Structure 1
Amino acid sequence: MRVSLKDVALHAGVSIKTVSNVVNDYQHVTPGMRARVQASIDELGYQPNLTARHLRKGRTGIIALALPELGNPYFAELATEIINAAAEHDYTVLLDHTRGRRDQEILVSQGFRTRVIDGLVLSPIELEAEDLRSRTEQVPLVLLGEREYDLPHDHIAIDNVAAARAAVRHLIGLGRRNVAFIGARRGHSQPAHLRLRGWRDELDAAGLVADSRLVAATDGWEHADGARAMAGLLDSGRRPDAVFAYNDLIAIGALRALSERGLRVPEDVAVVGFDDVAEGRFGAVTLTSVSPDKAAIARMAVESVLAQLNGGEQRGRRIRPGYRLEKRESTLGTSGALAHSRGPTPSAG
């Protein structure tokens, strides 16, 4: 049978109120009394009823997390971090898969599950500002990702332009002059436009031509998209000596296409990705990548939801977590990457 507060109180010889104060970590409990009650909790195996605790506050104890691609390792890693961050506040995460479709993102953002959630963390792909302006639901909403909206909702994302510039600056610093960008979304201006802007801005700052013929659009952001785009660039007759990819999956696909053409990485073509997913760290050629602070993104998202629930009025903030450029074999080669791993990785943020 489930152990109750009453059982713990009887075992410890104290009142139920005292046990409740210890369980809820109230300050006005003496150290000796706290230790006594905790010993009974441990011995009896008491587990707080988190559902009841949330319901007493008029809440469900659930935060929804809506992501475009559950199969994408970046989103899988980010989801894990958000689940961990929510658990620290005794919250459960309900995971939703929008597939990056506008209709699904509208459905989620308009609150079709508001009866069972206390807040929503959404990473949109196709959602437009007008879709959110018409939102009448009062459940706290926090936005993630590269798409930007001038709206009264907290938006948590690294500085994508600055991060892209850091990646391209690294390539230029290695002597590369024909730097391609792979991953512009075909038929769309977002969400790749900030990283594309960073690519262009850094080339301009270095006095190099931001050649539109070296921008390869893709239909998606998977391995196959990167491989096709890389092959298309090579077939165009304007071979780059470096590639900055929208994300790691595209970069890994590009690595495969380069290998199939007999080109060496990084000797012939250097490659930088974005997201720093685990797969990129364990390939035949380890991938240099922009590494967003996923743990910070998760913590900030959960804290934003809870702050709004507790009456905070700070909405519409643009919150910038940190990032690093992790330099590995795809730009430094084997010896360079080993030497780099022995020293500190400078912050790019």
Structure 2
Amino acid sequence: MIDVAREAGVSAMTVSNVINGRPGVSADTRLRVLETITKLGYRVNLAARHLRAGRTGAVGLIVPDIDRPYYAQLASRLAKGVERRGLHLVVERTGGDAERELEAISFGRLRMYDGVVISPLRVDAADLERLHFETPVVFIGERPVPTTFDHVMMDNVGGARQATRQLLTTGSRRIAIIGGRHDDHVDDMPSLRTRGYRQAHTELGVEVDERLVVEVGSFAPGSAAAALKQLHEAGVAFDGVFALTDAAAMGVLRALADLGIDVPGEVQVIGFDNVEETEFLVPRLSSVEPGNDAMAAQVLELLDRRIAAAHDDEQAAPAPTTTVVTARLALRESTR
């Protein structure tokens, strides 16, 4: 530990804080210490510290939020799967903060699990390339990760394209996209889904009114409802809404009801994620089904292979894979 501290130019206490995932270390310092650990080949025998057998019986799920229906239901699917394997799931919330994401993937924290599923929002591929993970890791989500890792993601562009085409082919011509991006050149969820929205318009020869691309501070129902009402109050006409998440679509439906606008007669609405609550809204919400069950099954299969290889010296580590799960539409009462 002293060698790591000297090489990284920090105190031994700082190295200890990074190794054990403690807060209070800046993102830059944390990354520098983790790089130095990798460079020097420093190892902490947490297996001996926690379990002499070298197995913890736990799988970690590191996500930005746990109050969004999508992440809550993802956790439920994975928990059922790991429990069938005689393990249990531990969920960590990062809030989408870069420093907290680095804390979660710190050397010591990862070694507390047999395998880890990570959905990063801020840590980028360049940071991940400089780090070394001994614990089996599977990444999920749309953020780019190095090809040396297993990565399972949904077809954000294709799903959004399908949703927008559905609205266009059933009569909508002025489709508001709640949560969209005017600059969609970043590989994050809002940008990818906005690309699909624009692609559908181009394919069907319908021009996008940029006033209908509505950026939001969050995808919470309240934020989406406020954004929809502001659009209406500004006098911008719309006859369709593509909300980038089902949570946002719930807010849209509430706002349209408050405004006395009929769904789907006057305005069609479609969301994305196909969470369980869509079946119980009034009207029932049409949504993009991104392959939720297939994603969970693929993640668990990849973890199985990685964990088995990690505990069998004679078994070669499998080649990393990138899987894009096919999306489809789940059409209900909010569309024609």
Tell whether the structures are fold-level matches, with TM greater than 0.5: yes
For the pair shown, which has the larger CA radius of gyration, 1 or 2? 1
* SS of equivalent to 1:249: helix
- CA-to-aligned-CA distance 1:191-214 (integer Å, 9 cap, x gap): 311111100111111111122211
Q: Which of 321, 324, 329 is matched with 2:325 structurally?
A: 321
- RMSD value, Cα: 2.2
Uncovered stretches (5+) of structure 1, i.e. residues with no partner: 1-54, 333-349
**Structure 2 residue 194 is the aligned partner of structure 1 residue 196:** yes
Uncovered stretches (5+) of structure 2, i.e. residues with no partner: 1-50, 310-315
- Give the 3 Å change call, closer, same or farther, for CA 186–200 of structure 1 in structure 2: closer
Counterpart in the other structure of 2:165: 169
Distance 1:184 1:73 in 2: 20
Aligned ranges 1:259-338 → 2 under 5 Å: 259-311=257-309, 313-332=317-336
Distance 1:286 1:141 in 2: 37
Moved more, 153-162 or 242-251: 153-162
- Give the 3 Å change call, closer, same or farther, for CA 161–187 of structure 1 in structure 2: closer
* SS of equivalent to 2:180: strand
- CA-to-aligned-CA distance 1:237-289 (integer Å, 9 cap, x gap): 22211111110011110111111111111111110001111222111211000
Counterpart in the other structure of 2:61: 65
* SS of equivalent to 1:301: helix
Aligned ranges 1:120-159 → 2 under 5 Å: 120-159=116-155
Is 1:185–1:191's contact at 8 Å kept on the other side of the alignment?
Answer: no
* SS of equivalent to 2:120: coil
* SS of equivalent to 1:96: strand
Distance 1:283 1:205 in 2: 31
Paired residues in the alignment total: 280
**Structure 2 residue 70 is the aligned partner of structure 1 residue 74:** yes
Q: Please tell me the residue identity of whatever aligns with 1:308.
A: R
- CA-to-aligned-CA distance 1:220-245 (integer Å, 9 cap, x gap): 11101110111122123222111111
Counterpart in the other structure of 1:160: 156
* SS of equivalent to 1:58: coil
Distance 2:136 2:73 in 1: 23
* SS of equivalent to 1:157: strand
Counterpart in the other structure of 1:83: 79
Per-residue deviation at 1:130? 2.3
Moved more, 117-126 or 55-64: 55-64
- Give the 3 Å change call, closer, same or farther, for CA 185–125 of structure 1 in structure 2: farther
Per-residue deviation at 1:113? 1.4
* SS of equivalent to 2:335: helix
- CA-to-aligned-CA distance 1:290-331 (integer Å, 9 cap, x gap): 112222211211221221223354454221233331111111
Distance 1:62 1:186 in 2: 42
Per-residue deviation at 1:150? 4.0
- Give the 3 Å change call, closer, same or farther, for CA 115–124 of structure 1 in structure 2: closer
Q: Please tell me the residue identity of whatever aligns with 2:191.
A: H
Q: What is the TM-score normalised by the length of structure 2?
A: 0.78
Q: What is the TM-score normalised by the length of structure 1?
A: 0.75
Moved more, 179-188 or 94-103: 179-188
Percent identical among aligned pairs is 35
